[in-house]
Every structure is written in structure tokens, then in C-alpha cells.
Amino acid sequence: MRVRDLTITDRQLAILRRECNVGGELEGACQVLCGSSNLHEDPWADRHFCMEPELRLTVHRPEPLPSDRVRAGNVSVSWDMDCYVSLMRKAREEGLHPGICHSHPRAGSPFSHQDDGNEDHLRDLLQRRNRGGEQVLISILFRGETRVDARVWRSAGSPQTVPVRVLGRELVECSQPSHVREVRADSSFLQRQALAVGSDTVEQLQRFRIGVVGCGGTGSAVVTLLARLGVGRLLLIDPDTVAETNLNRLHGSTRQDVVDRKLKVQVLKGWVDSMGLGTRVAVCQAPLANAVTAKLLRSCDVVFGCTDDHLGRLILNRMAYFYLLPVIDMGLSIDPNCQDRPAQVAGRVTILRPGNTCLLCRGVISPRRAREQGLRHKRPEEYGRQEKEGYIAGSDTPTPAVGTFTTETATAAVNELLAAVAGLRGPKGWASERTIRYDLDRCRPTGCTPRDGCSLCYSSDNWGIGDVKPFLDLGGL
């Protein structure tokens, strides 16, 4: 099984760098436990083509070594074997992968022959202990002050080099993922963009696989903008067909689509295909509440949340932390003019990632509405009965929407992605949340701290844990 990449948060990276004495004269070491997602389906592959399963790794938690168990020199570092034995045991018990990290003070020194021999021995030990397990041994090397290399051992003598992604205030590819290079031949339409944000950013966008959940007013604008930015692959998820009342804001749609009862995802795929810019579009018309659908998003590098659905948001909210998968969630709320006060029009863009406050703690998701939508999805008759008896709080009355506001909110969301990859705002990177008040002519970051004990954003217990049973530790999905 091939390993596609290894993702680590900026906080985890800071711990590993400190433990490995990066910047010092002596080498240093640390251990780490990683989660993984097992990808068996490639949303962009031809249906007849069976994908070779791929593994994506995410750092779950650093396991620092007690200082009296480490022996560090200028050109070598070693630590007590029982620390590694205990790491293997934890990995087996928790369904995780063990990893070791060390540093070379000089940037010019790659993995040494001695590293090769030691790691192959540790790999052998892992496979003997956890016989029949699918575990891999991960090795991370800090070279000099800045460089990070990673590789994975599955079989004797032949480690696989793995690209490293750092998720924090920015979204950084630490090492060039050569095997997923997808720079397209005809990229001249991106020339002016390269002048603005640099060709590295243009190439990173071309490699990106981006999920868009919800293809309505904001979603269709996001899809249009991402295709013009040159994003390589898009995965569109939405179960709905185009309705007459969507035509004021749904980019790419026509009145004929309403007559033909076309799915929104099909309309948008046709729209992007007709641009001829080379973006590959995969679609899924099943709701996100199907675990199979949600699992497809594990193939993505970034996800845009453009749904009004509380259950859908609840799922994206968990995926961001479990899979270190950044989610750019957005919403628009319009309170029309009343007699005693003017209208309030607010667009919201929230970046979900470890280190930021989640949507539950921000009060964006109503757990009750999410439960009700879950019931409607799983047991529609029971939902109907409860609705009749007045137990259902939410209603599906149409909410106000204007195409200019949905489009501007979508633009603000896509600009956050640019802030994260192109460094447009310097080290500040992307905002945690940004609110645009169209009635007040104001756009500002909005802060919010995690609620005590939140298992997603307050504690790091689920960060990077990857695949668990049940999926996302949510029964009933």
C-alpha cells in the first residue's frame, strides 16, 4: 500500500522540533503516534479502474522521551529500546502507527546508512510484534533549522519517501510531493495569476484536490472561482436538483436545468468541463450523512463547507480535527427590514482546524437540528410522525438569499485559501473566522474560545486520530 502524505499540525511540529533539539549542536530524538486513513476509492478514477489502496498519515500525538533515556552526540542519537517497545504497544492497543523522529544539525545531511540500518531493525521488530497488523514505521528527520524529511518503512530495506504537509496558520507543503505533481501542460491561462501569487502557489493549487459540500449559492460560486484559480481536482457533493428559486444565485445554471430536473452537481460539472481549463470534476449526489459519501472527502486536501444542513456541518466539523483536514465553512444570514430596525446581512467564513474553535463551540451548529436531520435521513417515517406531533423544532421555510451576498461570501472563503497557501497576509495566514456585515460595510475577524472539555477543539484527544470505528466516533451514521 502506497503512502500518499503525512500531515502534522504546527503545534505538534513545534513540540517535535523542541524535543529533537532543532537549532542546537547536538542531535535529538522524539517518538510519535500517527493515525491513518485507508483510501480504497479514488473519486476521480474511472469507475472501471480499481484503485491501489492508499494510506494517508496524520500525526496524532508526540510522545517525548525522558531526557535520561536519550544519548545524544554531534553525529548520532540513540535511546533506550524499552521506550520503543512501549511505543509499539501503545500503537497496537490504540490502532495507530509508531513513528520516530531525530535531527541532523547540518542541513546537508540526509538519512545516513546508520539510520537505514537502525530503522530497518525497528521495522522488523514492529512486524514481528504486531504480526498480521497493517502498521508501518514512520521516520521523521529534521535537517538543519528548517528542512523536514519523512519516510515510511513497510518492508525490508526499502523505505518510501513521503511528502510532509504542515497545517497551521498556513497550509505548507514541506517537501515537494513529486509523485503527485500534476502541473498541466496548458497552464498559460494562469500566467497573470502567477505574477500575483508566484508560480509555486499556482503549482500547489494545480495539485490540490478540493471537496465542495453543498452546491447552492455559495457552493456554485466557490466551484467557479476554484476552477479559474486552476485547482486540479474538485469533488462536488450535493443531493439536490436545481429549483426555480435557485436561479437568482446558482452560478452555471439555466432555466432549462429546472425543466430537466438536473442535479446541481451535474450542472456544475458541465459548467466547469465547458470552461476547458483542465480541472477534473468528480460528483456525488448522495448526502454527506451517508458515511460512504463523507469518507470520499478523506481524499481531499481542503474542503469547502457550503451547506446549510446542521448534520452535514456536524460531520465536517469532526472530520477537520480527526483527519487534520482543513474545512473552510461559510454561511450567510439575512434578517430582512423590520418596522423598528434596518436589515442585517452577515456573511461568515470559518476555518476549522486543530488550534481553532469548532462550529459547535461557536454556536453555528444546533445539535438538536442535527439530530432531527439525522432522524429524517435514517428513519423518514418516524421523523414525519414526530413532525406531525409538533416535536420537530426546525422548519424548512425558505430563507432569504441574494446572489451578490452569497457570491461575495464565497469569494471571501476562497481568499482565505489563498492566504493560507500564498502567504498573502504573511505569517498571520488565514483567519480563524471572518464576518462580513454587508449592511454595516464592515469585514472583521471574530474570535471565540473553545468551550471547556470540547472533545474536538478544547482537547487534542481526537486530533489526527484518523479512521476509527465507528467512523468519526459517531454511532448511527
Total residues binding Zn ion (CB under 5 A): 8
Rounded to the nearest 10 degrees, the angle between the axes of helix 81-94 and helix 113-129 is 50
We find the least distance from the C-beta atom of residue 396 to Zn ion, in angstroms, to be 27
Shortest distance, position 10 Cβ to Zn ion, whole Å: 19
The nearest distance, CB 128 to Zn ion, in angstroms, is 23
**Which CB sits closer to Zn ion, 102 or 251?**
102
Min dist CB 75 to Zn ion, Å, is 8
- What's the closest the beta carbon of residue 432 comes to Zn ion, in angstroms? 12
Site for Zn ion in 143-182 (CB under 5 A): none
Q: Quick one: which segment of 180-188, 201-209, 238-246, 449-457 binds Zn ion (CB under 5 A)? A: 449-457
Kindly tell me which of 112 and 245 has the beta carbon lying closer to Zn ion. Answer: 112
The nearest distance, CB 476 to Zn ion, in angstroms, is 20
Query: How many angstroms separate the Cα of 31 from the Cα of each of 156, 216, 302?
Result: 21, 45, 28
Between 64 and 450, name the residue whose CB sits nearer to Zn ion.
450
What number of helices (H) and strands (E) belong to the chain? Answer: 13, 19
Per-residue mark of binding to Zn ion, 342-361 (x: CB under 5 A): ----------------x--x
Per the structure block, which three cell numbers stand in for 465?
A: 486520530
Q: Considering only 8-16, 192-200, 237-245, 445-453, which stretch makes contact with Zn ion by CB under 5 A? A: 445-453
Distance between CA atoms of residues 359 and 405, nearest Å? 21
- Taking CB under 5 A as the binding criterion, the range among 66-74, 89-97, 396-404, 452-460 that sits at the site for Zn ion is 452-460
Amino acid identity for residue 143 in this structure? R
Strands (E), 157-293: 160-161, 164-167, 171-173, 209-213, 233-237, 280-284
CB-nearer residue toward Zn ion: 115 or 309: 115
To Zn ion, the closest distance from the beta carbon of 270 in angstroms equals 38
> Minimum distance from CB of 310 to Zn ion (Å)?
15
Q: Quick one: CA torsion of 300, 205, 272, 349, rounded to 10 degrees?
A: 70
Instruction: Return all residues near 415 (Cβ < 8 A) that are at least 6 apart.
Output: none
CA dist 277 and 280 (Å) reads 9
Q: Taking CB under 5 A as the criterion, which residues in 84-113 touch Zn ion?
A: 112
Residue among 419, 431, 420 nearest 349 (CA): 431
Beta carbons of 328 and 42 less than 8 angstroms apart: no
Site string for Zn ion, 361-400 (x = CB under 5 A): x---------------------------------------
Tell which one of 401, 424, 454, 468 touches Zn ion (CB under 5 A). Answer: 454
Q: Between 332 and 457, name the residue whose CB sits nearer to Zn ion.
A: 457
- Cβ partners under 8 Å of residue 450, min gap 6: 357, 358, 361, 457, 458
CB of 456: closest distance to Zn ion in angstroms? 5
Alpha-carbon span 398 to 2, nearest angstrom: 47
CB of 46 to Zn ion, least distance (A): 40
Residue 153 DSSP SS3: strand
- Nearest approach, Cβ of residue 86 and Zn ion (Å): 22
Q: Which of these segments, 10-18, 303-311, 427-435, 451-459, binds Zn ion (CB under 5 A)?
A: 451-459
Beta carbon of residue 362, minimum distance to Zn ion (angstroms, whole number):
8
Residues 6+ apart with CB under 8 A from 350: 328, 329, 330, 356, 359, 362, 364, 432, 433
Is position 115 an interface residue for Zn ion (rule: CB under 5 A)?
yes
Site of grid cell 480504497: 40
**Contact indicator for 461, 454 with CB cutoff of 8 Å:** no
Separation CA 61–CA 160 (nearest Å): 22
By beta-carbon proximity to Zn ion, the closer residue of 258 and 454 is: 454
117 versus 470: smaller Cβ distance to Zn ion: 117
Q: Which is nearer to Zn ion, 33 or 141 (CB)?
A: 141
Closer residue to Zn ion (CB): 112 or 191: 112
Task: Rank residues 222 and 457 by Cβ distance to Zn ion and give the closer one.
Answer: 457
Query: Using alpha carbons only, what angle is made at residue 236 by residues 313 and 364, rounded to the nearest 5 degrees?
Result: 15
Site for Zn ion in 226-245 (CB under 5 A): none
Residue among 189 and 458 whose Cβ is closer to Zn ion: 458
The span from the CA of 77 to the CA of 23, in Å, is: 15
d(C-alpha 291, C-alpha 2), whole Å: 23
Nearer to Zn ion, 106 or 437 (CB): 106
What is the contact surface with Zn ion in residues (CB under 5 A)? 112, 115, 358, 361, 450, 454, 456-457
